[in-house]
């Protein structure tokens, strides 16, 4: 499949932390989109639930937004569904 050599060269230099941050932001917005779809809601409904403008929610949903914990908690509470989960490594006692 065709690739641009100029883009390919620049891709190799991308800061892995920035790539990870964008990946995570996409995972979050796709999860929010999934919850909205399951509940038959639109972005404007989420805006209303959060007391925000629809334009602000659209801005969040584009895949490069740096979500704060406060924002994620408010979205989880508004939609009554989990977005992020923390992994625990529990010690197994023999």
Partner 1 sequence: MKQEYKIELVEEYENVNFYSIHLEGKKLTELEAFFEKFPIGCEYDDEIDTIIAWIDKIAEKGALERYFRPEGNYGDGVGVIPIDLGKKLRLYCLRLSDKILVFGNGGVKDAATWEESKELAPYVKLLIDTSRFITSRISDGSLVLVDKEIVGNLNFTRNEEK
Nearest in space to 60 (alpha carbons), one of 32, 23, 21: 32
Please list, in sequence order, all residues whose beta carbon lies within 8 angstroms of the beta carbon of residue 84, skipping any fewer than 6 positions away.
Answer: 28, 72
Which of 54, 90 has the CB closer to partner 1?
A: 54
Min dist. Cβ of residue 76 to partner 1 (A):
20
Q: Among residues 37 and 73, whose Cβ is nearest to partner 1?
A: 37
Which region, left, alpha or beta, applies to residue 37 given φ > 0 means left and ψ of -120 to 50 means alpha? alpha
Residues lying near partner 1 in the complex (CB under 8 A) are found at 1-4, 6-7, 10-11, 13-15, 18-19, 21-23, 26, 29-30, 33, 43, 58-59, 61-66
């Amino acid at each position: 499949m065709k690739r641009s050599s100029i883009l390919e060269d620049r891709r190799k230099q991308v800061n892995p932390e920035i790539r990870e941050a964008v990946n995570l932001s996409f995972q979050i917005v796709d999860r929010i989109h999934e919850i909205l779809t399951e509940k038959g809601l639109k972005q404007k409904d989420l805006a209303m639930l959060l007391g925000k403008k629809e334009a602000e929610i659209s801005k969040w949903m584009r895949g490069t937004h740096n979500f704060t914990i406060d924002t994620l908690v408010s979205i989880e509470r508004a939609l009554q569904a989990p977005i992020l989960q923390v992994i625990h490594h529990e010690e197994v006692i023999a």
